């Protein structure tokens, strides 16, 4: 087995898992490493998202997504302890539940209905809206807590390509800050972060 320094290189993928399950395993695996790497005293460090702390990055992911599943697909995820009490355990319970949902063969036949996005296969909805969110917030948690900030360059380039045509729509949603100017020859991670309003 060849060693690698790429945090997104995944040698644990299951042979028959769906693309959505494999992508979540890979992306959430890196976020989990960052969660485990947060020093106890750093959970209240300020995060790049205005008004957020490192703890709030985890809080965001474990709170919005269960509500999204509940309203759109009638699915209740197991709940861990409150993020204020134990952010690491809260994330672990949540993350394992999402992975179990994606690994469940029955999930491939389920749909999610949402007034903003319409009707989508459940796995596709998780991949497009949740796993992408975990990917981008990995940088926020790493930056807030002084950890490895590298994101997968190919994923950054793919996401940026899909988001550029939706600039006005995304900006109008209120979920992204003003676009930050960076050199045209900046790498894909820098350009993606700048597009979503982060200062790389």
Residues 74 and 168 in one domain: no
194: domain range?
A: 152-200
Final residue of a structural domain among 129, 150, 171? 150
What pLDDT, on the 0 to 100 scale, is given for residue 16? 61
- Cα separation of 58 and 169, whole Å? 26
Question: For 46-70, what is the mean pLDDT?
Answer: 97
Q: Is 8 within the bounds of a domain?
A: no
Cβ atoms of 72 and 111 within 8 Å: the answer is: no
- pTM value is 0.88
Query: Do β-strands 118-121 and 111-114 pair in parallel, antiparallel, or remain unpaired?
Result: antiparallel
What pLDDT, on the 0 to 100 scale, is given for residue 6? 61
Residues 141 and 43 in one domain: yes
What pLDDT, on the 0 to 100 scale, is given for residue 179? 83
- Residue with the bigger pLDDT between 165 and 140: it is 140
What pLDDT, on the 0 to 100 scale, is given for residue 174? 62
pLDDT at position 147 over 50: yes
């Amino acid at each position: 087995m060849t060693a690698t320094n790429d945090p997104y290189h995944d040698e644990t993928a299951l042979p028959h898992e769906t693309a959505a399950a494999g992508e979540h395993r890979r992306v959430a695996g890196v976020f989990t490493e960052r969660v485990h790497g947060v020093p106890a005293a750093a959970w209240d460090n300020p995060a790049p998202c205005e008004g957020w702390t490192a703890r709030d990055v985890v809080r965001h992911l474990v709170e919005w997504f269960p509500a999204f599943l509940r309203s759109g697909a009638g699915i209740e995820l197991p709940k861990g302890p409150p993020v204020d009490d134990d952010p690491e355990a809260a994330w672990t319970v949540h993350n394992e539940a999402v992975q179990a949902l994606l690994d469940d063969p029955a999930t491939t036949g389920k749909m999610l209905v949402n007034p903003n996005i319409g009707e989508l296969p459940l796995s596709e909805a998780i991949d497009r809206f949740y796993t992408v969110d975990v990917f981008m917030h990995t940088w926020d948690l790493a930056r807030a807590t002084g950890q490895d900030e590298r994101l997968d360059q190919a994923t950054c380039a793919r996401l940026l390509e899909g988001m550029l045509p939706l600039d006005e729509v995304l900006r109008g949603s209120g979920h992204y800050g003003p676009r930050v100017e960076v050199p045209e020859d900046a790498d894909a991670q820098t350009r993606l972060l700048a597009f979503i309003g982060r200062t790389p």
